[in-house]
Structure 1
Amino acid sequence: MELTDLIAPQKYNLISEIDRFDSDRIALLWESEDGEKQSVSYHELIQKGKRFANVLNKLGIKKGDKVMTIVPRIIDAYVIYLGALRAGIAVIPGSEMLRSGDISFRINQGEAKAIITYKDFTEQVDNIQEKMPSLKHKISVAGETDGWLSMDSLMDEVTDSYTTVDTDKDDMAFLTYTSGTSGTPKGVVHTHAWAYAHLRIAPKRWLNIKEGDIVWATAGPGWQKWIWTPFLSILGKGVTGLVYFGRFHPEKQLQLLQDYKVNVLCCTPTEYRLMSKVDHLADYDLSQLHTACSAGEALNRGVIDIFKETFDLQLKDGYGQTESTLLIGTLVGKEVRIGSMGQPILEEFITIIDEDGNQVPAGVVGNIAVRRDFPALFKTYYQQPDRYQAAVIGDYFLTGDRASRDKDNYFWFQGRRDDVIISSGYTIGPAEVEDALLKHEAIKDCAVVASPDAIRGNIVKAFVVLKDGYSENPSLIPQLQKFVKNQTAPYKYPRAIEFVSELPKTVSGKIMRSTLRDLEVRRAAEKQSD
């Protein structure tokens, strides 16, 4: 593939990719945990998006503005994105697991003009104490909320006639926040041009999406992976997406795969691990499933073997970041090497370098790096250019992960370059959890690291030093866990807490998380050998 094939026209709005499929073909098949079902055609979805574009403009929100949205796996999530992007308005995705402090930070740092929130999540917004000078409107989705505008009512007041705003390829489309090892979350700026490149890479080279497929990508709105696949890779390729609005149960997931005759599945390793443990797994008919992809963290050999033996289905690893699209994976038509991350999706842009920015030979461990002119790489960290520069060496952006490669350019993961924790596909910055713990009256000091886990890959573990007067009582552990859940997104809470008298630190007083992380790896290895 030539570089020119990935570069968008100067005047480009990513909605044009979806408008190509304006017809009666089914865009989304939706089912709730209660068994309620809906289907929506491309034409219906596109027209609803136009209505919402009119809603935003009527409220005074226009091209160049930004809105934040916190909406679960419902059809309105797609409508919000379609409407905002058509109007040239950038979207700030937010998970329903965010807490008031998380939300206010994103609104203020991202200068959002509106917050568009599912009716059941509005309380966290109403509890915000900080001033939010940019915020002009609060819109409640799928129901009425006191003090909020109603999306349904607003949609009834406008037409579905709308001319797509003339956007430049370099205009912002998404502002997605990601965790780092220290400090506040980073706002990742993706332009319309990023979407153009993504659509010409991941759906064909990794997901293997074909005409007429039914595709189920389980990521939820609020995450960049939802933009990658449920939104762009499905609607941008004119196929049908399955959407399930309910809690995860492995048996239910297998039943839906069977009932809807899903052709392409993309979910987390944790979901695959739990499905692999289901009794009578072979009783499920997954014969229509031609591609099964995994992203978020590495797949383990045992799970891969079970799906291969049971369904003759080869699970495909994939590696990418909020800042990019898929970078490395088990690519269509390529040999599978178990344990490998796979190969770069475009080898001329993705390599392994040393600390001086030089490519390293095969077999040498270095930093996974992406050439900065890769069209499917983010533009910058919003209003934080110093954090962008800190991740750059010469012509390369560093992903933060380390690997080696063999003579055939298969990459082999070696670990994080920093302290970011990946658990069940979630990326968690230890500093965020430490900050929450330190607000508790009993905590004097703490350090948070990844601890190996058979199901989740890693869990968040906290090593805690108590203040004088507090005892290392096991009953304090659930109290601390609940406290963290109330301070920040619940998926970040420490599933394990260990009391210690002191933390390992450098002579300058910095916590040596790597020492604690290595300790957890050794303990896991010893436990496995017992």
Structure 2
Amino acid sequence: MELNDLIAPEFYNLTSEIDRYDSDKIALRWENETGEKKSVTYHELIEKGKRFANVLTGLGINKGDRVMAIVPRIIDAYVIYLGALRAGIAVIPGSEMLRAADIAYRINQGEAKAIIAYRDYTAQVEQIKEPMPSLQHKICVGGAAEGWLSMNELIRGASEDFTTVETRRDDIAFLTYTSGTAGTPKGVVHNHGWAFAHLRIAPHRWLDIQEGDTVWATAGPGWQKWIWSPFLSILGLGVTGIVYQGRFHPAKQLQLLQDYKVNVLCCTPTEYRLMAKVDHLDRYDLSHLHTACSAGEALNSGVIDIFKKTFGIELKDGYGQTESTLLIGTMVDTEVRQGSMGQPILADFITIVDEEGHPVPEGVVGNIAVRRDFPALLRTYYHQPDRYKAAVIGDYFLTGDRASRDKDNYFWFHGRRDDVIISSGYTIGPVEVEDTLLKHAAVKDCAVVASPHPIRGNIVKAFVVLKDGYTGSQSLAKELQAFVKNETAPYKYPRELEFVTDLPKTVSGKIKRAALRDLEIRRAREKGIRV
């Protein structure tokens, strides 16, 4: 594939990709954990999106502005994105796990004019105490909340006649925030042209989505992976997507795969691990499934073997970032090499470089790097150009991960350049968890690292030094865990705490997280956990 094939026309709005499928074909089939079901056609979804575009512009939110959306796996999530993007308004995705401080940071740093939140999540917004000068409107989805506009009522009174705003390929479409792995979260700027490139890469070369497929990508709104797959890769190819709103349960997931005759599945390694442990796995009929992909962290070879033996399905790994799209993975019609990340999706743009930005020979460990002219790469970090420059060496943007490659250009992962923790597909910055723990009256010092786990891949482990007068106990550990849950997103809390008298540090006083990670790896191996 040539570079020009990935560059959008100068005037381009990504909703034009979905408009091509305006018909009575089912776009989404939705179900929740109580068994309630709904479906929506492409025509209905597009029409409702136009109504919402009129709602936003009627409120004075226009091209170039930004809105933040915090919604679960519901059909209205798609309506919000389609309406905003059609009006030339950029979307700031927000996970339902965000807390008041997280939300306020994104609204203020992203200069959002509106917050659009599901009824169950409005309380966190109401807890924000700090000023939010850019915020003009609060819109409640799926119900009513005092002091909030109702999305349902606004759409009901809106016209379905809306002419798509003329946007250029370089106009911002998404402002997605990273997980705060090194200080405050970074706002990743993706333009409409990014979507054009993404749609011509991942859905065909990795997910192998074919005409007429039913596709289930389990990522939730609020994450860049939702934009990748449930939103763009499904609607942008005119196929039918499955949306399940409910707590994950492996047997239920298998049942839904069977009932909806899913052809393409994309979910986290943790979901595959838990499905692999279900008793009598072979009682489920997954014969319609032709592609099963995984992203977020490495897949276990044992899980791959179980799915191959039981269903004849080869699980395909994939690697990408909020800053890009799928970069490396097991592509269509290529060999799966267990333990490998796969091959670059476009070899001309993705390589491994040394600290000076020069490509390294095969077998040499270096930095996974993306050529800066890759059209599916971020443009910058919003209002933080210095942080973008810090990730650039020469012609390459560094992903922050290290790998080597073999003679066939398969990449082999060798860890992070920094201390990021990946647990159950979530990316967690240790500094943020440490800062939260240090706010507790009992904590004198702490260090947070990844600890290997047989199901989650890794869990967040905290080594805690207590202040004088406090004694480590199970009740205090639970108190600290609850404290972190309440102060920041729940998925970031330390699932394990160990009280220690001191922490390993350098002569300059920096914590040696590598020493603690190595300790946890040794302990895991002693327990028989594969690392």
Task: Provide TM-score, normalisation by structure 2.
Answer: 0.99
3-state SS in 1 of match to 2:270:
helix
Question: How far apart, in 1, do the equivalents of 2:181 and 2:333 lie?
Answer: 37
Question: How far apart, in 1, do the equivalents of 2:522 and 2:45 lie?
Answer: 52
Return 179-188 or 139-148, whichever deviates more. 179-188
Q: Say if 1:351 and 1:369, in contact at 8 Å, map to a contact too.
A: yes
| 1:140-197 Cα shifts (integer Å, max 9, x gaps) | 0010111100001111221100000000100000000112432111110000000000
| 1:453-504 Cα shifts (integer Å, max 9, x gaps) | 1100000011111011111122210000000000000000000001111111
Q: Say if 1:144 and 1:150, in contact at 8 Å, map to a contact too.
A: yes
**Paired residue for 2:265?**
265
**Paired residue for 1:464?**
464
2:339 aligned with 1:353, yes or no?
no
**Paired residue for 1:46?**
46
CA apart distance, 1:519: 1.2
Q: Say if 2:452 and 2:529, in contact at 8 Å, map to a contact too.
A: no
2:262 aligned with 1:278, yes or no?
no
**Paired residue for 1:338?**
338
Q: Say if 1:324 and 1:376, in contact at 8 Å, map to a contact too.
A: yes
2:314 aligned with 1:311, yes or no?
no
**Structure 1 residue identity aligned to 2:410:** Y
Q: Say if 1:219 and 1:225, in contact at 8 Å, map to a contact too.
A: yes
**Paired residue for 2:392?**
392
- The total of aligned residue pairs comes to 530
Return 326-335 or 177-186, whichever deviates more. 177-186
CA apart distance, 1:54: 0.2
CA apart distance, 1:529: 7.8
**Structure 1 residue identity aligned to 2:261:** K
**Paired residue for 1:425?**
425
CA apart distance, 1:526: 1.9
Q: Say if 1:205 and 1:331, in contact at 8 Å, map to a contact too.
A: yes
Q: Say if 1:340 and 1:411, in contact at 8 Å, map to a contact too.
A: yes
**Paired residue for 1:59?**
59
**Structure 2 residue identity aligned to 1:382:** Y
**Structure 1 residue identity aligned to 2:218:** T
Q: Say if 1:206 and 1:329, in contact at 8 Å, map to a contact too.
A: yes
**Paired residue for 1:522?**
522
Q: Say if 1:180 and 1:420, in contact at 8 Å, map to a contact too.
A: no
3-state SS in 1 of match to 2:446:
strand
> Equivalences for 1:186-265 in 2 at 5 Å?
186-265=186-265
3-state SS in 2 of match to 1:208:
coil
Return 517-526 or 23-32, whichever deviates more. 517-526
3-state SS in 1 of match to 2:474:
coil
Question: How far apart, in 1, do the equivalents of 2:338 and 2:177 lie?
Answer: 32
Question: How far apart, in 2, do the equivalents of 1:389 and 1:520 lie?
Answer: 33
CA apart distance, 1:444: 0.7
**Paired residue for 2:113?**
113
CA apart distance, 1:521: 1.1
Question: How far apart, in 1, do the equivalents of 2:269 and 2:182 lie?
Answer: 26
Question: How far apart, in 1, do the equivalents of 2:182 and 2:282 lie?
Answer: 45
Question: How far apart, in 1, do the equivalents of 2:291 and 2:265 lie?
Answer: 6
Question: How far apart, in 1, do the equivalents of 2:507 and 2:89 lie?
Answer: 49
**Structure 1 residue identity aligned to 2:347:** E
* Identity score, percent: 78
3-state SS in 2 of match to 1:383:
coil
Question: How far apart, in 2, do the equivalents of 1:110 and 1:355 lie?
Answer: 32
Is there any run of 5+ residues in structure 2 with no aligned partner, and where?
A: none
3-state SS in 2 of match to 1:475:
helix
CA apart distance, 1:113: 0.2
3-state SS in 1 of match to 2:527:
helix
Question: How far apart, in 2, do the equivalents of 1:319 and 1:175 lie?
Answer: 20
| 1:396-429 Cα shifts (integer Å, max 9, x gaps) | 1111111110000000111111101100000001
> Equivalences for 1:404-423 in 2 at 5 Å?
404-423=404-423
Question: How far apart, in 2, do the equivalents of 1:89 and 1:517 lie?
Answer: 43
Question: How far apart, in 1, do the equivalents of 2:171 and 2:141 lie?
Answer: 27
2:122 aligned with 1:134, yes or no?
no
**Structure 2 residue identity aligned to 1:169:** R
CA apart distance, 1:518: 1.3
**Paired residue for 1:288?**
288
2:302 aligned with 1:302, yes or no?
yes
Is there any run of 5+ residues in structure 1 with no aligned partner, and where?
A: none
CA apart distance, 1:336: 1.3
Question: How far apart, in 1, do the equivalents of 2:91 and 2:497 lie?
Answer: 36
Q: Say if 1:327 and 1:350, in contact at 8 Å, map to a contact too.
A: yes
2:94 aligned with 1:94, yes or no?
yes
> Equivalences for 1:477-516 in 2 at 5 Å?
477-516=477-516
Question: How far apart, in 2, do the equivalents of 1:418 and 1:391 lie?
Answer: 12
**Paired residue for 2:85?**
85
**Paired residue for 2:475?**
475
CA apart distance, 1:333: 0.7
**Structure 1 residue identity aligned to 2:303:** V
Q: Say if 1:351 and 1:368, in contact at 8 Å, map to a contact too.
A: yes
**Paired residue for 2:436?**
436
2:327 aligned with 1:327, yes or no?
yes
2:449 aligned with 1:449, yes or no?
yes
Question: How far apart, in 1, do the equivalents of 2:445 and 2:384 lie?
Answer: 28
**Structure 1 residue identity aligned to 2:459:** I
